[in-house]
Amino acid sequence: MKIVNKTRRFTIAEDAEFAKTFFQRFRGLMLSKPRNLVIVATKETIKHTTIHTCFMRFPLNVLWLNSDLEVVCGAKKTGNWRIFKPDKPAKYVVEIGVGNIKNTKVGDRIEFVE
């Protein structure tokens, strides 16, 4: 699936996958090669979309989106062994290992294109 910044009209990532099951969300990108993942939380909260970068082999760019696919928070080039949480409740965590969030800002609309 493609991840597009609809507001600024550019592609963030070409080949992302959804993580919808408990195991997919739990594993995330730990111990994997760089790739792109969209974690779909069970609830739109800060608690359910807090992430860590333990056991990560590469830095991430991360976007947190609400249920309207609007960016509520972002982090660039995350370091390893850290915990990150959004500033506001989120439903989706977009972890970009291969791609670029460029000038994506809070309030931008994101689109997932199959």
Short-list 59, 66, 53, CA closest to 92: 66
Q: How far is CA 44 from CA 16, 41, 48, 64, in A?
A: 21, 7, 7, 10
Q: Which pLDDT score is estimated for 26?
A: 92
Q: Which pLDDT score is estimated for 79?
A: 87
Measured torsion, CA atoms of residues 96, 98, 99, 100, in degrees rounded to the nearest 10 = 60
pLDDT score of 6 more than 90: yes
- Tens of pLDDT, residue by residue over 72-113, are 999 998 989 999 999 999 999 999 999 899 999 999 999 999
Domain count, the chain: 1
Run of H or E residues at 45:
strand 36-45
- Tens of pLDDT, residue by residue over 7-44, are 999 999 999 999 999 999 999 999 999 999 999 999 99
For β-strands 90-96 and 83-84, DSSP reports them as: unpaired
Range of the domain at 19: 2-113
**What gap in Å lies between CA 24 and CA 27, rounded to an integer?**
5
pLDDT score of 65 more than 90: yes
CATH number, position 56: 2.60.120.1140
Q: Which pLDDT score is estimated for 21?
A: 94
